[in-house]
Amino acid sequence: MAEVRVIVRKKTRSPFPWKRFWRKLALTMGLVLAAWWVFLQLWSMAFPRLFRFYEVETGTLFRQLPVDRALVVRDETVVFAARAGTFQPAAPEGQRVAEKDTVAILQAAGGTRQVVAAPRAGVVCYHTDGWEKVLTPQSLETLDLVHWDQVPPALAEAGPGTLVEAGRPLFKIVNNLQPPLIWFKFDSEYLGWFPAVGKKVSFRLGEAIYEGTLRGLTSQGITAWGWLEVDRKEMLHEREVEISLILARADGPIIPNEALVWRDEAPGVYKKNMQGYQWVPVEVLLQEEDYSVVKGLSRGDLVITNPYLIEEASRLPAISKK
């Protein structure tokens, strides 16, 4: 019998191509690093162009509290017609008269004349509104004017040749030696903006700025009110005025509030320099809704108004700030 031999051959594995692997890995890493380097270069050139810059200017900023309906309060005495007749003024509007001086004449239907004299010294005004006995300097501290806007004044004017009935107001005498008062109402959350009673307060009336003395300030719930003593003798006709109280002012460099960046509870800005930008601390002297007056900058400095981009970029590796 023939002998059968079975030969079992072992499989041999090909050696792992380490050299090729390392070459591919090195090539891949090189491409990744090259792409990252290109990205950083492009980012470093494009990033500064994303900034918005504001050129610092110097000026004045006011903290203002607008009051749509303020009231003018005067020391005034109304004279009424004792009888019916035709009204004829004898003293011009705005003239100062002495006590018992002739101000007007009433011509009765029968031809009799009645001389109407000034009950006190003061300035003649032929415009009345029915609030002269209510809005007085003496009653201002205890007067409830919170609901004033629900009771508008009833304006009246006695002109030459007007036929008047008995009891109708003819004119008033305004005490021009006592400064008028301006009463105003506001939200009590702004009480902290006001100085102490007796201090000066500026206010806008029209296009002009005037100064008054704060004579009273009180509050009830969410409503507060106060009154200013002003030196404006020409306020004979006004009862309602629109004013804006100037409760603070600051002079210096003005920047947008969006440029401010806080670090460790300290304000600062990113200012442009030769190398790119630099965070510099500032002191906020006065801040309003959109702008602030600061100390620590100069006129002509350029500050970044979208500093949040820098915070986002800080998460990337350091880049050149050209």
DSSP code per residue over 90-115: -S-TT-EE-TT-EEEEEE-TTS-EEE
Fold classification of 51-62+250-313 (topology level): 2.40.420
- Distance CA(48)–CA(230), nearest Å, equals 54
Q: Where in the chain is the domain with CATH 2.40.420.20?
A: 51-62+250-313
Specify the DSSP class assigned to residue 48. G
Between 2.40.50.100, 1.20.1260.10, 2.130.10.10, 3.30.930.10, what CATH number should domain 75-177 receive? 2.40.50.100
Q: Which helix (DSSP H) or strand (DSSP E) does residue 24 occupy?
A: helix 18-46
Instruction: Say what the alpha-carbon torsion angle 215, 219, 223, 225 is, to the nearest 10 degrees.
Output: -10
Whole-number pLDDT of residue 56:
95
Token digits for 318? 């350091």
Q: Could you give phi then psi for residue 250, rounded to 5 degrees?
A: -145, 145
pLDDT at 253: 96
In this structure, are strands 240-256 and 291-295 parallel, antiparallel, or unpaired?
antiparallel
3-state secondary structure at position 27: helix
Q: What confidence score (pLDDT) does residue 238 get?
A: 84
Q: What local confidence, expressed as pLDDT, does residue 186 receive?
A: 93
Q: Which of 94, 93, 116, 114 is nearest to 103 (CA)?
A: 116
Strand partners, 125: 172
DSSP code string of 286-320: EE-SSEEEEES--TT-EEES-THHHHHHTTSPP--
pLDDT value of residue 137: 87
Burial (CB count within 10 angstroms: exposed 0-12, middle 13-18, buried 19+), residue 240:
middle
Q: Cβ atoms within 10 A of the Cβ of 170, count? A: 21
Whole-number pLDDT of residue 69: 86
CA angle, corner 97, sides to 96 and 99, nearest 5? 145
What pTM was estimated for this model as a whole?
Answer: 0.70
The segment(s) of the chain belonging to CATH 2.40.50.100 are 75-177
- β-pairing, 127-128 vs 200-205, is unpaired
Series of mean pLDDT values for 10-residue runs along the chain (322 residues):
58 65 76 68 58 92 92 92 91 93 89 91 90 84 62 65 87 91 92 94 91 92 91 77 94 95 91 86 93 95 88 51 42
Q: Which amino acid is at 98?
A: A
